[in-house]
A and B are shown apart, each in its own frame.
Chain A
């Protein structure tokens, strides 16, 4: 009997978790299709807010900025993180614990601390040198720094899962160092790289805190736009943006997961 009660209790927690996790999202998605300008009463289905979005130049701009930021930072993070991941693998037998901690740190560091320190740095750097005016450039740098550890760890764990003699087999079969990279290393970790790219993309596209502190007047991204817009209250337009972002992030996250799984198999 007691076991049964416990099981029921756990099932209850499960449903409560799902409820609090997804109901707010469901509400936002639902009301984005509301024909009335209300966030409380659903009148009828309509795409009017989505049409309104397309006509809003600020939103289109913010969307463009978000996309540029996410894609370019992900590409840079992929290249650098991949090299770091391979380096971590190659030298895993040495005592490099401190280096690994340095790589992990940005993952656990509060975004607000990270954002403020980046802002202080960029502002001062610009004042002294005249380079790196806060804007998309500084945002890309900031995003790359927090994406790198994720990429490095995904690549590293893919290498660790490989039979180490594969590296020797490639040498044994006449592959020069360059050909080993091209015909063995890169193809072998390709699924991990694709997965890391989509993960970086989702991290970047929904980042608000770090973007907020490192952005300039011209580089408003979608999250920043939403934040400034809701000061005037939540509009169905915001719901529509949020719904689009949920969709985009979900797709990227699923792709990331799929490619990672393919790599493990």
Chain B
């Protein structure tokens, strides 16, 4: 296991370097240079200030030297200071918002698993039944659904028409004065819609995948053996088949990380949730380049970590992987 782990981590290094190259390339896409844009917007920028900015971003050096100097800062997560009026270091701004985004994404992953696994298994076991057909209609609509639109509709219905759920932020204004249980309920009420919607996107794909897995496993010889030795159908499905059908889910969990993180931009913006996604959106709108670059890099690194965790979990769950 240790050997496998080391191998996986070593494989990550070239990918990580590649990520930095892409980030660096994106940064240099701007017509002119990052500092040009910053000083153009500021009419008071003197020639001297321009020079200082230029030196700060090493723009007076050849491009490979620029990359090297930038890389040295990135490995210690020094993304520079935000262009926004607060001028705070980007890494601090990300740090205070990252936990919210990760918590929301973990919640929606849990929601996806809790719904998609039973749905896929039932659809596969009762293949061709009305339930299976309804599920596949749901899957098709789910694939085509613009989730930000669904968010609007649910906000109108539950937030405005029924008035049951709040439609912005993660806590009410009087949050601090609420007793603990009421405060928890307040938080849950704020999270229901964002978590449901962020889970909705992955639900369709996941349940379809689960159904296909289950159909594949049910066909195997060991399932026939289990049936032949007279086990109840329940035992065959839930003990023998399900455990094997669940294995590939681990990989898909890892692969769904970038989609979830990317989606957080949309949901955090719609529901005014103070997470990394909202920060990214605000940074893009304000052309706060250091923040944009920092979050772009962090997003890719989070995906890489997600994939690594999935690989480790898979190797832990399935010994065949470790040996290979």
A in complex with B? no
Interface residues of B (CB under 8 A from A): none
